[in-house]
Amino acid sequence: MKPVSNTPDWVLAALETRRQEDLMRRTITLDSPQIPHTQIDSQQYTAFCSNDYLGLANHPTLIKAMHSTAEIYGVGGGSSHLVCGHLAPHQRLEEALADWLGYERVMLFSTGYMANLGVISALADKHRPVVQDKLNHASLIDGALLAQAPLRRYLHADVASAERLLAKSTSSGLLVTDGVFSMDGDVAPLAELSKLASQHDWMFMVDDAHGLGCFGENGRGCLSLAGLDSVSLPILVGTFGKAFGTAGAFVATSHDYADYLTQFARPYVYTTAMSPAMAGATLASLQLIQSAEGQERRDRLARHIAYFRQRVEALPVELMPSATAIQPIVIGDSAAAIQVSEKLKSLGIWCTAIRPPTVPTGRARLRITLSAAHSDEDLVLLCDSLERVLTANV
């Protein structure tokens, strides 16, 4: 006898719509560490879709640091930072990050999503609006929605569009942008946006999840690239799950903002602190990023980016303008993007097709991400495979 489903019809209908539109998401399981040569479903692939930009996720120094920290401080945070969950490894990491970036204070969060929710929902409200780039990450948009703040979105990376929105506003608020846009790979015009925020007396916030560690002086990301500091960029969010190779996030800011967020950022107040062992591993990662090895990895990543663009720009496809580790190739149709992804898999390349609603309708793509952990031979394999698949589909 067939079991009777108690799933609501609207849930089933929504899932069926996703299937029909080739938009269904599914989880895959890796049978290996987060490394370029990975194993999925007992098959070997060279992966080009991880955010492990510097190749630190499986670095022996980080693994050793996590083990040694756990032996002293354990694994669990046990409580929120404000009760009894702020351990010495957390404090050391916060102080090292503040020193690296030139800010008065750093606050740790469990994830980048929670950091963005916490900061925006605390600083914005019904009377303090939020103006954001149209292509900002979902967590930045959701932070404004959680705050119930008036939300306006300017044309992507368009300073004039942002200025029009600020000029129309009857009250000052929060101007927010990604540093590096996660699906397009381009960099926001931060210097111009910072000047705009100052002129209109707005707070300015940047989420540099995909920039920190990867470029700029000493790996300081978009902050360094744009020539900004803690005054011209008063609220900087960063994550550890990308170039750092660990997990968690932080907000770098002033003493006053940090004190305010400690009182009113609910995801900070009411969440158990990140693992002290993870904090220890992240501190080791930060030290690597600042070291000669970190610079060598950034240099290698830059060489990979240059080689990739030189090869793919010659192909009859749309390679988006990006100088970062994120190198999107627009396919257009979702079904076609899936087809290209599957053909690459048959050649040993793992690169997931990115489809709406993550990207705009008609702009499905391969989001190629490069890592310092890739070898030159890996890049040749990728470009040869892309040339074979993409020219066959023209």
Angle between helices 112-123 and 138-147 (to 10 degrees): 30
What CA–CA distance (Å, rounded) separates 175 from 152?
10
Catalytic residue of the set 81, 90, 242, 304 = 242
Dihedral-angle region of residue 218 (phi above 0 means left; psi in -120 to 50 means alpha; beta otherwise): left
What CA–CA distance (Å, rounded) separates 155 from 297?
34
Catalytic residue of the set 86, 90, 210, 374 = 210
61 among the known binding-site residues?
Answer: no
67 among the known binding-site residues?
Answer: no
Angle between helices 292-312 and 376-392 (to 10 degrees): 20
The full DSSP string for 167-219 is HH-SS--EEEEESB-TTT--B--HHHHHHHHHHHT-EEEEE-TTTTTTSSGGG
Active-site residue flag, 242: yes
111 among the known binding-site residues?
Answer: no
Query: What residues contact residue 200 under an 8 Å CB cut-off, 6+ apart?
Result: 166, 167, 169, 172
What CA–CA distance (Å, rounded) separates 156 from 285?
32
239 among the known binding-site residues?
Answer: yes
Q: In 10 A of CB 163, how many CB atoms? A: 17
Catalytic residue of the set 50, 182, 194, 341 = 182
137 among the known binding-site residues?
Answer: yes
Question: How are beta strands 235-239 and 203-207 bridged, if at all?
Answer: parallel
113 among the known binding-site residues?
Answer: yes
Amino acid at 328: P
Active-site residue flag, 182: yes
210 among the known binding-site residues?
Answer: yes
For residue 335, the surrounding DSSP H or E stretch is: helix 334-346
Active-site residue flag, 343: no
Closest CA to 65 of 49, 89, 48: 89
**Is the distance from CB of 268 to CB of 109 less than 8 angstroms?**
yes
260 among the known binding-site residues?
Answer: no
What CA–CA distance (Å, rounded) separates 188 from 182?
11
Binding-site residues sit at 25, 112-113, 137, 182, 210, 239, 358
Binding-site residues for pyridoxal 5'-phosphate sit at 112-113, 182, 210, 239
Binding-site residues for substrate sit at 25, 137, 358
Active centre residues (catalytic): 182, 210, 242
